[in-house]
Amino acid sequence: MKRIILVRHATAAARGPDIDDFSRPLRKKGRREARAMADWYMGAGKAPDLILSSPAPRALETALVFAKAMGCRAKNVAKDKALYENPDAPGFLDIIRAIDDKHDSVMVFGHDPSFSEFAAYLVEGFDEAMPKCGILGCRVNRKTWRTVKAGDGRREMYEHPAGLAQAASHSQPEQPA
């Protein structure tokens, strides 16, 4: 069995005349989101065998926050420029199929719209847009990455910063009147 954990990058600086799309770094809010989601993930899952990221700073910074939380060294985060190029769902599947079978689990960091499209393509019945720093974890009942196909994914976890905030607000004790 294989596992795929998709993580969309956290909130980044806006595009503008002084910064091109590729170079956009995380905002302070994005770094907070990434730390919160990395902590949540480590409470809900285990470190993957492979961390794969778009080389764009906002995705790579998000990946590095997760790597640190998982005790992984920054140099062990692999980069794939194809993840920045927003592949369509079959193109994204080609990236997954190219993973070495020595890895049973992969955490992939990148961008929308390709993440939302791929999630819907891989996991039957998943039709949500992946929010910034959202995590979708799924298992794939395959022995090799090269045999993964559309609809193979079975959702194991799904969370995003707004969901964490909502859960935290419901777990706060009521204040006396």
Q: pLDDT digits over 48-73, tens only?
A: 999 999 999 999 999 999 999 999 98
Distance CA 133, CA 33 (A): 7
- Global pTM reads 0.92
pLDDT given at position 171: 53
In the numeric block, which tokens belong to residue 64? 């590095």
pLDDT given at position 174: 44
| Residue in 79, 89, 23 with CA at minimum distance from that of residue 53 | 79
pLDDT given at position 177: 39
3-state SS class at 17: coil
- pLDDT-flagged residues of the chain (< 70): 165, 167-177
Is residue 38 within 8 A of residue 13, CB to CB? The reply is no
3-state SS class at 43: helix
Does the domain made of 2-12+22-163 have the CATH classification 3.40.50.1240?
A: yes
pLDDT given at position 63: 98
